[in-house]
Amino acid sequence: MEPKRPSIPMQVQAFRGRTRRPRWPWVLAAALVALLLIWLVFRSPGESPPQPPASASMTQPSGPPWQMGNPEGRFTLTLYADLECPFCREYFPQLKRWVGNNTDVALQWHHQPLAAHEPAASAEARLAECAAEAGGHAAFWQAVEWVYAHTRSDGQGLPDGLQYPESTPAIEQCMASERPGAAIRVQSSEATKSGVTATPSLRLLDRQTGQAILLQGPIEGDALLSAMDMLAAGDMASDAAASPATATSEMPADVVGDMPR
């Protein structure tokens, strides 16, 4: 007679049933995690998270020409100036304040050393260019302000023995090279071809349409605003006529208004 096998309690049978559940869901989850880790490690640089847009100060051109104000503004105001010109020296601080109060304008410097002020005018322009080459836009305007604060003007130049306090070996090496002189000559030639005959002169450009106006003499702020309105009105007229933007026009200072001296 065959012996009886011991019976297995029902609770043990139920436990064994539970331990035999398939393990493939866990294996699949582990594989997905591994694939995700591999993708994070080996993804291409082009798939990096999007970066925030650059601020206006980062979009300034490397220069020259050197600028201050809003480089994304609708209007660019070019100042044709001579660092030995006494009227430029008086006008520059006022123009700088006006640009600082008008967020839709960028001020751009254009060298125009006059023959009557040489060689001091070009020597000082070289200093400003070399300071900018070493330090960028802010360094250029700092050098311009320093020259205007210390020059004897009218071609007399800086006092004998006076050295630029922010001078560095890089600035000195630049001064000994031909680079700044070449840039100054190019700008001076362009100014003459554009009809600039005296300093200070201004060229107001509407970047939206390409229309511009040349203003001879130190122009007061209200007159500059009027010139901006004129260019904007010309923009609307050209849109209505479906004609291209006009070339640069000239408006003498006595029509627009002089800066009080």
* Interval 146-167: pLDDT, tens: 999 999 999 999 999 999 999 9
Residue 66 DSSP class = P
60-98 confidence digits (pLDDT tens): 667 789 999 999 999 999 999 999 999 999 999 999 999
| Residue 40 neighbours by CB distance under 10 Å | 8
pLDDT of residue 197: 87
The burial of 230, by beta-carbon neighbours within 10 Å (0-12 exposed, 13-18 middle, 19 or more buried), is given as middle
Neighbours of 235 (CB within 10 A): 17
Contacts (Cβ under 8 Å, ≥6 apart) of 88: 81, 82, 148, 199, 200
pLDDT at 256 (0 to 100): 33
Whole-prediction pTM: 0.70
pLDDT at site 3: 54
pLDDT value at residue 28 = 64
Domains of the chain: 62-256 (3.40.30.10)
Q: Is the dihedral of CA 176, 122, 200, 144 positive or negative?
A: positive
Q: Flag residues of the chain having pLDDT under 70.
A: 1-61, 235-261
Q: To 5 degrees, how large is the angle CA 228–CA 233–CA 237?
A: 150
Output the pLDDT for position 63: 72
- Residue 121 CA to residue 147 CA, distance in Å, equals 10
- Report the helix count and the strand count for the chain, using DSSP H and E: 9, 6
Provide the phi-psi class of 195: left if phi over 0, else alpha when psi is between -120 and 50, else beta.
left
Query: Which spans in 20-79 are helix H?
Result: 24-42
Compute the distance between CA of residue 96 and CA of residue 108 in angstroms, rounded to an integer: 11
